[in-house]
Chains A and B, each alone.
Chain A
């Protein structure tokens, strides 16, 4: 049962529209800094575009998908109407208003500070206020996820919380806590300067607060994809989930260990001690555990589906999989990209290896492969899976969907592999142009051209994605059968309370955060000599 269809659709559509706009900017950026385009006469335009691309892709798009998907999961898994529909709409409106509020100064060139803010650069205050509105809107969602879970638990004492709901709430709690870092940075450090009350800012402390948000935000983006792996994919390809407990343990581990690891973004920063950097490196490595658990569990679930379809042999069962099914394709592509991206990530998070790729195009390649690749391809899959239930119309463009997913996969590989390569060659990120006529850079020109082609393939894929969605709104009306999440091979009537509640895990999450961030933050806050003059961006240019 899905009563709040318009609510969910509104979230998905606004999310995908912001994705589409940001994608075009991204492709334009690829184009203008490749050898195919003469040097930009005004690089500020480039950073304006990067800021809009990053803010829309990082803050708006995944947040709206997570919110919309979360509301859908409440109604579909708990089988009851969402409590607080008005609040949910209020949250949506805050996100929408915040997006516009932030994007106007960016478009005017008044806040070209990139989505990571980078103090001591200070842009127009409305950019930050807009981001705060987006976050506040998403916090309403966090509250509603919690309220709906608690209400359901009260009515169903002792019954296991459906896996999809359990995982969605884990994602919501993760976001609720991880957004606190950037919120503190904006409210207490950046906004007082942007509004003119102060002229200096502790840039080092601001970067530490942002790292609090910056890494776990990736796992917040990842959550809908992981929820889809566990609760949609096995059903969609005709199999069963290998283990419900393993799924819960994975989500719990993400909740606990994805928070105290953000300092691995600051390995090259001087204001944090090496001991804390090492601690964060260790806990980053630990994220490999839930990732590997997931890879194992989902591969086992896929094998179950294949063997149910008559697959045989050690690897022969792979042929029996429903490769014509877009969901199967999306899952396979997502896993391949997660594999490569994850392998690259292990290099980034290694304290020593990082120094060879820090701030190079390698990093850009890495996070595009993980987020725009492994995660966004699952957002597509979630939309394809939910759309008939949201529109009440048949979705029949199977061929177009397959093409779309194939092109996204190919485009993302063609985009990111050359990025990794040029990163190893030392090409820095965040550059508006490169002098390819110089013999030292000439050899990189071909790689950059290839990755530009990847970017253009992605635009084609996105156009197809929108065609599929829009056509589905005009499809034949059908009676859609009841939505099902995947069922586990062994469905137990009871599960340990630890796997059915969040108290212990939230306590560990907060405790570890304080353990790993407490001293670096306290020492910077308590010192009086750590502030630097703020650098206004987009002020009078002459």
Chain B
């Protein structure tokens, strides 16, 4: 037995297994790469080479686009959010932001908090503030007061403002887990699975935080409710991929009210 050579064309184990494997692989490839894709009658799939390329997943322009890309009826946000956007800021940037923020104090308060039913900015994520400023500037989000305020800001100035407000202390002590409280409404803690509403807390903090979403605790009731209503009726439309519009549209007025009330009162 030790004399027997395995890797030899004289050894039937070798020829049968290698030959059989090859035959099977080639047969499967012929079916998968030529026969099955050829069942497609569309022009781009005709011919063996096209069949093979389509089955192999070679990226190609399969469809000739003849019509112009449709122009969206509403201006949408062009900002690409990543978890890493503005994750680091310099003290110089914060300092420049502090100077720029002087003009914001009228509505947003001297320390980024105000009773004027404007959103709290102190301690907000810098990427959130940066994105909203960009959207106000591009027109994706519009507001009679904010839009003209932002019109002449440079990109670096918007980054600086984000860095400054992120650096301010939050108006309320951050709680370890907002959801430990007993009176959390279902819409915040669980959402509504069958209506495709994710829990508010799964993006806005409490359960988890997603890039580009603000934290909301202590947000004025009137502000949150107005934004949810604006998302629901489409008058606010700067949410990426319609994430908030899809949520708000499916929320009942009671749920909108409960969520806004909860976040307004969510203090330690």
Please, which residues of chain B bring their CB within 8 A of the CB of A519? 56
Please, which residues of chain B bring their CB within 8 A of the CB of A275? 29, 32-33, 36-37, 52, 54-57
B49: interface (CB < 8 Å): no
Q: Is the CB of B32 within 8 A of A282?
A: yes
Q: Is the CB of B57 within 8 A of A498?
A: no
Q: 1/0 contact trace for B154-184 toward A, CB 8 Å?
A: 0000000000000000000010011100001
Q: Is the CB of B56 within 8 A of A539?
A: no
Please, which residues of chain B bring their CB within 8 A of the CB of A497? 1-2, 4-6, 11, 13
Q: Which residue of the partner chain B has the closest CB to A501? A: B6
Q: Is the CB of A508 within 8 A of B209?
A: no
Stretch binding the partner chain, chosen from B17-25, B65-73, B254-262: B17-25
A44: interface (CB < 8 Å): yes
Q: Is the CB of B84 within 8 A of A41?
A: no
B111: interface (CB < 8 Å): no
Stretch binding the partner chain, chosen from A132-140, A318-326, A435-443, A464-472: A435-443
Interface size on A, residues (CB 8 A): 55
Q: Is the CB of B206 within 8 A of A542?
A: yes
Please, which residues of chain B bring their CB within 8 A of the CB of A504? 6-7, 13-14, 17-18
Q: Which residue of the partner chain B has the closest CB to A516? A: B25
B215: interface (CB < 8 Å): yes
Q: Is the CB of A272 within 8 A of B215?
A: no
Interface size band for B: 35 or more
Q: Is the CB of A435 within 8 A of B194?
A: yes
Please, which residues of chain A bring their CB within 8 A of the CB of B215? 542
Please, which residues of chain B bring their CB within 8 A of the CB of A495? 1
A533-B84, A541-B209 are known contacts. Are A41 and B189 too (CB-CB below 8 A)?
A: yes
B205: interface (CB < 8 Å): yes
Could you say which of A441, A498, A508, A519 has the most chain B C-beta atoms within 10 Å of its C-beta?
A498
A44, A431, A441, A533: the one contacting B83 at CB < 8 Å is: A533
Q: Is the CB of B190 within 8 A of A274?
A: no
Q: 1/0 contact trace for A516-542 toward B, CB 8 Å?
A: 000110010001000001111101111
A391: interface (CB < 8 Å): no
Please, which residues of chain B bring their CB within 8 A of the CB of A511? 21
Q: Which residue of the partner chain B has the closest CB to A534? A: B83
A435, A515, A523, A540: the one contacting B57 at CB < 8 Å is: A523
Complex formed: what's the CA distance from A527 to B89 in Å? 32
Please, which residues of chain A bring their CB within 8 A of the CB of B36? 274-275, 278
A256: interface (CB < 8 Å): yes
Q: Is the CB of A283 within 8 A of B28?
A: yes
A146: interface (CB < 8 Å): no
Interface residues of B (CB under 8 A from A): 1-2, 4-7, 11, 13-14, 17-18, 21, 24-25, 28-29, 31-33, 36-37, 52, 54-59, 82-84, 174, 177-179, 184, 186, 189-190, 192-194, 199, 202, 205-209, 211, 215, 217
Can you report 18 residue pairs joining A to B where beta carbons are below 8 Å apart? A39-B186, A39-B189, A41-B184, A41-B190, A42-B207, A199-B82, A273-B56, A275-B55, A278-B36, A282-B24, A282-B28, A438-B194, A441-B194, A498-B6, A498-B17, A533-B84, A540-B209, A542-B215
Report, nearest first, the 4 A-B pairs whose CB atoms are least far apart.
Answer: A273-B57, A275-B55, A278-B32, A542-B205
